[in-house]
Amino acid sequence: MTEETGLPPLARWISTWLTHQRALGRSYVEAEWILRHLLRFITGKGGADLDQAGFNLWCDSFRHLMATTRRGRQLAVHKFCRFRRRSDPDCFVPDPLYFVRLLPYRRPVIVMPEQVAQLLVIADQLVPTTNSPLLPAVARIAVILLYTAGLRRGELARLTLADVEAQTGLVRINASKFHKSRLVPLSPDGRDALRSYLHQRLAAPFDTDPTTPLLCCGRHGRHGYSGGGLRDAINRLFIAADVKDCEGRRPRVHDLRHNSESRIIPSAPAIDDDPVCFPSGREAGRTRHYQRPFRKAMMRSLGRKRGSLMFLGVVAARARSFNCMSACR
């Protein structure tokens, strides 16, 4: 291990582990944030190194989070401690037997088309602020992309001007979940909505450098929205539009993705003659199909090879007929 003078042992080992992992080609940004958070917590409590008591107190500091998030943080620390034990047999390693137990995933709230139409109406009524002069346009295009293209919240926040092609209607998602990239085609109406937004986004005085965020804020558009900022903005729209399901539950931002991927999305009626950007036309409005369950069902019934060939043929036929394909995970 490379010695770094002036740093506590835990900080030195964190730096060593990150260097080792990044040599394999990964960024490990999330793992670094978790370990830096652990380091600040331990040093803030006056501890010199990680032990069972300090680890328990650190876990208690985020008990308000979901079980999946809490267990993910605990496993990240466990992986780091196992690496450290290779060279330091006496170091502390938490026992995964006592980690948070995973709970069933929360059932998504399916947002109905008329509710999305109301979200777009309220987004247009937002008042621009000094720090967010494009707030109405940003809120509108965010709802459209989340609902019709099936983007994740973080993917939307990380989009830059270079990642969108207004002419072809393609959105490029770089190094997303599981470090995968993909191209997401937009429907004709979605492409028109993107062009309308870019007409405002590329106007003066906003920065038009290709590396600047697509959803920008600030006087000159040099800063982007964070994932948390987008979540808060969309949640305010949910509250203003009073979007709930039959059980009175409000949706999360991620629930908009379920609408795009797990069911057919019909065209929504306009509210107060406000056009809604969904796949247009008699057939395109009924044919947003999520491919994975369909592919698995065909492979089970017809066999792996024959089912895969049949699935590809159906997808190609739908693409030619409806000019719209959903993005696979």
Q: What is the pLDDT of residues 207-234, one digit of tens each?
A: 899 999 999 998 888 899 998 899 999 9
Burial class (CB in 10 A: 0-12, 13-18, 19+), 48: exposed
Measured from the Cβ of residue 121, the count of other Cβ atoms closer than 10 Å reads 18
- Tell me the helix, strand and coil percentages in the chain, rounded to 5: 50, 5, 45
CATH homologous superfamily of domain 113-281? Intergrase catalytic core (1.10.443.10)
Binned at pLDDT 50, 70 and 90, residue 181 comes out as confident
Burial class (CB in 10 A: 0-12, 13-18, 19+), 146: buried
User: Of 170, 172, 167, whose CA–CA distance to 186 is shortest?
Assistant: 170
The whole-model pTM stands at 0.67
Burial class (CB in 10 A: 0-12, 13-18, 19+), 181: exposed
Average pLDDT over residues 138-145: 93
Dump pLDDT digits (tens) for 62-81: 999 989 999 999 999 999 99
